[in-house]
Amino acid sequence: MRPYVIASAAVSLDGYIDDVADARLLLSDDEDLDRVDEVRAWSDALLVGAGTIRADDPRLLVRSAERRAARVAAGRPASPAKVTLTRCGKVDPHARFFTAGDTARYVYTCDAQVARLQRTLTGATVVGAGDPLTVERLLHDLHERGIERLMVEGGGAVHTLFLAAGVVDELHVVYAPFFVGQPKAPRFVNAAAFPQGPGNRMTLGKSRQIGDLMFLQYFPRSS
């Protein structure tokens, strides 16, 4: 058993999720960020890779006070649990992932790193997910902890890992109306095992214009 997984990404028209500048690139507009916030509020947990924590220092909280109140009224925590994964164990304990909000935090790493990370990340639950770490072990463990709805927010390495493993139940992509055009910038998906063929095709669910952005909901067939 594993959680229902929604993978969510905002990408440029040429497939980039950020540029090479230090500051975070905002691809969404306010209306789109509100759409993302609704998915966050639906979720039991939000997952980003350790690289995204290093690059973006995300808070990963539900932004809307009404949505937080509705969650609390339904007996849920105000914001979802936060989850990250790291093979090498490079995670800064002062990142907002750990300091912002009051919610459970899970750090999945390879078994060899667990003891070391547990010493530095005192406010988080550090879990070994195999050696090497596998996404199946991570999802199984999250489910055992009561996580039934997981939103995966990237970055590219994490999206590639989840999509290639065939564990994404729903894919949300919003296209921002510009190009990045920087070959060294991070992409939505990296080269991975995506075999060509009928099993590779996804089914389009909803599509919605949001100002000059375009939102697409896809259902991968493999799940």
Residues engaged in binding ligand AOF (CB under 6 A)? 10, 24, 26-28, 36, 48, 52, 56, 58-61, 153-154
Shortest Å distance, C-beta 6 to ligand AOF: 12
Shortest Å distance, C-beta 83 to ligand AOF: 12
Shortest Å distance, C-beta 115 to ligand AOF: 28
Nearer to ligand AOF, 114 or 162 (CB): 162
Shortest Å distance, C-beta 221 to ligand AOF: 24
Which residue is nearest to ligand AOF, using beta carbons? 58
Nearer to ligand AOF, 24 or 116 (CB): 24
For residue 40, which of 11, 18, 21, 62 has the smallest C-alpha distance? Answer: 62
> Going edge to edge, which strands form the sheet with 105-109?
125-128, 105-109, 81-86, 45-49, 149-152, 4-12, 170-176, 213-220, 202-210
CA distances from 67 to 64, 74, 76, 153 (A): 5, 11, 11, 19
Nearer to ligand AOF, 61 or 124 (CB): 61
Nearer to ligand AOF, 3 or 155 (CB): 155
Backbone phi, then psi, for 219, in 5-degree steps?
Answer: -110, 110
Secondary structure of the chain: what % helix, strand, coil (to 5)? 30, 25, 45
Angle CA 86–37–153, to nearest 5: 25
Nearer to ligand AOF, 38 or 148 (CB): 38
Q: Which residues pair with 82 in a beta bridge?
A: 46, 105
Q: Which residues pair with 149 in a beta bridge?
A: 4
Shortest Å distance, C-beta 162 to ligand AOF: 13
